[in-house]
């Protein structure tokens, strides 16, 4: 796979009741339209191919709060929704991008994106805090805050994630970042980025999107999900 623009990302730690799991894979072809392992805009009807509702309710056809096009994915808080898409297999190094919007970030601090193996074991997660921003955690060797820029309710963000499995020599990479204009986050006042060296010797095979909590009004909206084994550029 090819990518148009290289970048650094940050991993985030978030917890949530509604979740969507996605299996990975993206690319961008130089001189032409990018192609990716996963490229989903939710413009079809019902659950897209390769996606599944793990816990209700995943609204694949949300048309009131739309991030792009005419429809987006809503992970409903009231039902602790979890929505997932799988890749063809575990991938040692993977890049992830999506549009994301939190309905109300003040209700609870929880994970909103879970990074998982194809066998569905959680490797790490992104967690949100309304005052401080986003953090990445695994309860062990991946723990990092990204507090440069606070997260706001009802605001659309471009979320970038990069994960590389460690060989056992603490050479793994966990990077995450977010911006409001689609630029790849390199740090500074306009966005937040973190890069973590870790020793987690586990490949990724799924991403799971979740709502922030079981409290009504804490829905999470997603769109334009890209996954690839090459770096993803500005969107």
CB 214 within 8 A of CB 107: no
| pLDDT at site 45 | 97
Examine the pLDDT at 222 and tell me if it is beyond 90: yes
Give the residue extent of every domain in the chain.
19-228
| pLDDT at site 147 | 53
Name the least confident of 95-99, 103-107, 112-116, 127-131: 127-131
Distances in whole angstroms, Cα of residue 116 to Cα of each of 32, 103, 138, 172, 207: 31, 25, 11, 16, 6
Tell me the C-alpha distance between 225 and 98, whole Å. Answer: 4
Q: Please tell me the pTM assigned to this model.
A: 0.82
The pair of three-digit structure tokens given for residue 4, joined into one six-digit string: 């148009």
Q: Which residue has better confidence, 167 or 217?
A: 167
CB 180 within 8 A of CB 158: yes
Mean pLDDT of the chain: 78
Q: Output the CATH code of domain 19-228.
A: 2.60.120.200
Distance of CA 112 to the CA centre of its chain: 8
How sure is the predictor about 85, in pLDDT bands with cuts at 50, 70 and 90? confident
Examine the pLDDT at 25 and tell me if it is beyond 60: no
Tell me the C-alpha distance between 16 and 19, whole Å. Answer: 7
């Amino acid at each position: 796979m090819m990518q148009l623009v290289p970048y650094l990302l940050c991993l985030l730690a978030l917890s949530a009741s509604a979740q969507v799991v996605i299996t990975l894979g993206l690319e961008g072809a130089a001189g032409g339209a990018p192609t990716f392992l996963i490229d989903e805009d939710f413009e079809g009807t019902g659950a897209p191919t390769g996606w599944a509702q793990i816990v209700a309710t995943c609204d694949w056809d949300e048309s009131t709060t739309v991030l792009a096009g005419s429809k987006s994915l809503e992970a409903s808080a009231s039902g602790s929704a979890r929505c997932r898409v799988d890749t063809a297999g575990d991938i040692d190094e993977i890049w992830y991008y999506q549009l994301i919007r939190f309905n109300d970030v003040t209700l609870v601090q929880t994970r909103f994106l879970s990074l998982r193996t194809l066998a569905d074991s959680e490797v790490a997660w992104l967690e949100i805090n309304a005052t401080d921003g986003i953090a990445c955690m695994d309860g062990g060797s991946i723990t990092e805050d990204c507090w440069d820029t606070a997260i706001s309710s009802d605001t659309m963000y471009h979320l970038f994630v990069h994960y590389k499995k460690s060989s056992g020599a603490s050479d793994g990479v966990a990077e995450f970042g977010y911006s409001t204009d689609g630029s790849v986050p390199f740090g500074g006042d306009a966005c937040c980025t973190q890069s973590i060296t870790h020793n987690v010797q586990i490949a990724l095979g799924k991403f799971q999107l979740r709502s922030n909590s079981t409290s009504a009004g804490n829905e999470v909206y997603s769109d334009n999900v890209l996954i690839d084994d090459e770096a993803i550029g500005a969107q």
